[in-house]
């Protein structure tokens, strides 16, 4: 639609694997070299893995254009096949006539072996390429391993190249796949594009399509990198939607507003709903009242429970009156709110008399004297855009990127947390007093409420006694810790290494990192700064402490760390544990 408008000969950001548009980054050159090496060696497996949309299939198409004359290629792009179906497909790709009568595995295997022997005698090499190989079943992978046994005295008859997502690496690393893993002669994991490569990638595709016009200014390329994480397919989709938006608005190039609008469409982020002014004022007062009470609580919770919108969650936490006394440090019921930051929460108006004022909170005491901070430089300003959902997606990407948790696209917290559960990580939502900001361990997502603007989510990357670095709407900022604390609502989100698998039980004699984790959690519950045990061994002393913990939390006090005990330990706060429903162990 927009091709004539921008002078393109064809669509520059199609997601089809056209090798003409392949941008040969350093990583892609190395990956292609591994594939070409696989065409030259004798037998075994070549493994190419990468996240979704990093260009594995396009590289494969490029490889097919460089196949030597003496190579016969069989390409399977739908690996969700049974063993019989895979052999049939392989024979069809190599133009092997099917056996007469009943088509069995043995009959197909014999036909294939005869064909490979004949090809080898004629000096030809046969290569099988399997795309989306992470979908192969264990039985089919074992069949492929057996196919590599077809050989003469001097040569292997079949070379196999497997292309797949990150899950393929985990699949071949399994204990029952060790025979196959030993036959992998070359492997490479394709990473997303780097920050400088994103700009070169966009310019390359525009040039192939017939223009060298600067349709994306350098600041937009930086933002495009933050939105896409360097994933080529996401870059293509974002650029395509942004160019369409610029065309519809009759703009000569893409601007930031158009790119952000494209991101909302691509990532499924809804637009901010409009809230009437009267309702906004009422919600703002209620929100401030909730912050006064909620700031005294420190209650970790998983962010995976199904919940209401972020606006409802904030209202649910604002049920206590503004002048209510702070709750006692004894355990209290868990708050019903879930993921913070979703929904449109209007900016709070000036608080009435007796209400807590964020700006009136005392600044945190730095360890060394600090000169007065100029308000214009040290006051924390909100993002230029008021798209709360986009801010959340960017905050999620910054936090999860630190943990190298490969979420498949910018996502809201709930969606990202569901993904990283498979990576032995868990999300925890916590709520604390503003004074505790200096004691928190980055990185984490914080909810901020700037003066004159709505709350938004940002990622705190690091901090010392005076300064903090954080990501706001994809941009790295540095601000004084006191200024940050004044604008912090007390809500934050962090990732935590998940405890050991629920199927495992720890008893007397158990040893290892899991025992050390239990010891650490018990030390926190007991108010100790460090674990009491020096050796990660489940001894009689640790068993007694487990019994005390179980008894205090309504569990069967048998001294065995099972699923329910693990869950309770994982939900501990800094010094206290939230009151939980009594359950059997």
pLDDT digits (tens, 9 = 90+) for 372-411: 444 444 667 666 666 666 777 777 777 776 665 555 555 6
Q: What is the distance of C-alpha 385 from the center of its chain?
A: 23
The overall average pLDDT reported for the chain is 74
Q: What CATH number is given for 3-16+193-267 in this structure?
A: 1.10.8
Beta-ladder partners of 463: 468
Supply the angle between the helices 195-208 and 218-228 in degrees, to the nearest 10. Answer: 110
CATH topology of domain 500-585: Muramoyl-pentapeptide Carboxypeptidase; domain 1 (1.10.101)
Model confidence pLDDT, tens digit, residues 537-563: 888 889 999 999 998 888 888 898 887
Q: Is residue 440 a contact partner of residue 483, using CB atoms and an 8 Å limit?
A: no
pLDDT surpasses 60 at 466:
yes
Q: Which has more confidence, 482 or 548?
A: 548
Instruction: Give mean pLDDT, residues 296-305.
Output: 33
Hey, do 3-16+193-267 and 289-320+331-350+376-497 end up sharing a CATH topology, with the first three levels equal?
no
CA distances from 524 to 333, 468, 549 (A): 19, 26, 11
Domain 289-320+331-350+376-497, CATH number (from 3.30.70.20, 3.90.70.10, 3.30.110.30, 3.40.50.970): 3.90.70.10
- Other beta carbons within 10 Å of 450: 18
Model confidence pLDDT, tens digit, residues 405-460: 555 555 667 777 776 665 556 777 777 776 677 777 778 888 887 776 778 888 88
pLDDT of residue 499: 54
139-145: long-range contacts, CB 8 A cutoff, minimum separation 24: 139/82, 139/83, 140/79, 140/81, 140/82, 140/83, 140/86, 141/171, 141/172, 141/177, 141/180, 142/180, 143/83, 143/86, 143/87, 144/45, 144/86, 144/180, 145/179, 145/180, 145/183
pLDDT surpasses 90 at 254:
yes
pLDDT surpasses 90 at 572:
no
Q: What is the distance of C-alpha 247 from the center of its chain?
A: 32
pLDDT of residue 497: 62
Torsion angle (degrees, nearest 10) of CA 505, 508, 512, 518: 70
pLDDT of residue 174: 83
Question: What are the boundaries of each domain within the chain?
Answer: 3-16+193-267, 24-190, 289-320+331-350+376-497, 500-585
Domain 24-190, CATH number (from 3.90.230.10, 3.40.50.2000, 3.40.190.80, 3.40.50.300): 3.40.50.300
pLDDT surpasses 90 at 246:
yes
Instruction: Give mean pLDDT, residues 163-179.
Output: 87
Instruction: Give mean pLDDT, residues 521-545.
Output: 74
Residue 583's pLDDT band (boundaries 50, 70, 90)? very low
Distance CA 492, CA 388 (A): 16
Identify the residue whose tokens are 């005076």: 466
Q: What percent of the chain lies above the pLDDT cut of 90?
A: 28
pLDDT surpasses 90 at 8:
yes
Instruction: Give mean pLDDT, residues 17-41.
Output: 89
3-class DSSP assignment, residue 460: strand
pLDDT of residue 237: 94
Instruction: Give mean pLDDT, residues 30-43.
Output: 86
pLDDT of residue 404: 56
Instruction: Give mean pLDDT, residues 472-493.
Output: 80
pLDDT of residue 457: 85
Identify the residue whose tokens are 């921008």: 6
């Amino acid at each position: 639609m927009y091709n004539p408008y921008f002078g393109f000969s064809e669509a520059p950001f199609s997601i089809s694997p056209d090798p003409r548009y392949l941008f040969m980054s350093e990583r892609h050159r190395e990956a292609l070299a591994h594939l070409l090496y696989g065409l030259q060696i004798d037998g075994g497996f070549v493994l190419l893995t990468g996240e979704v949309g990093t260009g594995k299939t396009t590289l494969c198409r490029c490889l097919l254009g460089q196949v030597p004359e003496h190579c016969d290629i069989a390409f399977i792009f739908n690996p969700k096949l049974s063993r019989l179906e895979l052999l049939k497909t392989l024979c069809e790709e190599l133009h092997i006539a099917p056996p007469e009568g009943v088509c069995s595995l043995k009959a197909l295997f014999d036909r294939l072996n005869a064909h490979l022997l004949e090809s080898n005698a004629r000096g030809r090499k046969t290569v099988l390429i399997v795309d989306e190989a992470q979908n192969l079943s264990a039985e089919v992978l074992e069949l492929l391993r057996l196919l590599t046994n077809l050989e003469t005295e001097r040569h292997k008859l079949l070379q196999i190249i497997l292309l797949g997502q990150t899950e393929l690496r985990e699949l071949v690393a399994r204990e029952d796949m060790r025979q196959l893993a030993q036959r992998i002669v070359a492997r490479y994991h394709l990473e997303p594009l780097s920050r400088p490569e994103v700009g070169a990638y966009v310019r390359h595709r525009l040039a192939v399509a017939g223009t060298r016009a600067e349709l994306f200014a350098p600041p937009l390329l930086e933002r495009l990198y933050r939105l896409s994480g360097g994933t080529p397919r996401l870059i293509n989709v974002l650029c395509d939607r942004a160019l369409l938006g610029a065309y519809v608005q009759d703009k000569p190039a893409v601007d930031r507003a158009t790119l952000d609008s494209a991101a909302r469409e691509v990532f499924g982020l809804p637009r901010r709903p409009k809230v009437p002014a009267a309702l906004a004022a009422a919600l703002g007062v209620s929100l401030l009242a909730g912050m006064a009470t909620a700031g005294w609580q420190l209650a970790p919770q998983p962010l995976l429970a199904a919940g209401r919108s972020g606006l409802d969650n904030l209202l649910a936490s604002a049920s206590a009156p503004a002048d209510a006394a702070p709750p006692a440090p004894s355990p209290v019921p868990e708050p019903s709110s879930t993921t913070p930051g979703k929904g449109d929460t209007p900016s709070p108006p000036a608080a009435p008399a007796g209400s807590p004022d964020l700006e009136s909170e005392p600044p945190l005491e730095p360890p060394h004297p600090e000169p007065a901070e100029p308000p214009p430089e040290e006051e924390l300003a909100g993002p230029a855009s008021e798209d709360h959902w986009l801010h959340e997606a960017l905050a999620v990407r910054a936090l999860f990127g630190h943990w190298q948790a490969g979420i498949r696209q910018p996502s809201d917290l709930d969606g990202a947390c569901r993904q990283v559960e498979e990576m032995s990580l868990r999300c925890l939502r916590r709520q604390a007093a503003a004074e505790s900001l200096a004691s928190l361990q980055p990185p984490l997502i914080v909810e901020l409420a700037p003066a004159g603007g709505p709350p938004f989510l940002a990622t705190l990357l690091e901090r010392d006694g005076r300064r903090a670095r954080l990501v706001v709407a994809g941009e790295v900022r540095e601000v004084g810790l006191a200024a940050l604390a004044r604008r912090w609502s007390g809500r934050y989100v962090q990732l935590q290494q998940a405890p050991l698998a629920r199927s495992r039980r720890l008893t007397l004699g158990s040893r290892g990192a899991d025992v050390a984790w239990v010891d650490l959690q018990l030390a926190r519950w007991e108010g100790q700064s460090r674990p009491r045990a020096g050796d990660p061994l489940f001894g009689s002393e640790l068993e007694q402490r487990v019994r005390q913990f179980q008894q205090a939390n309504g569990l069967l006090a048998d001294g065995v760390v099972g699923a329910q005990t693990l869950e309770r330990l994982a939900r501990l706060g800094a010094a206290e544990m939230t009151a939980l429903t009594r359950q059997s162990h």
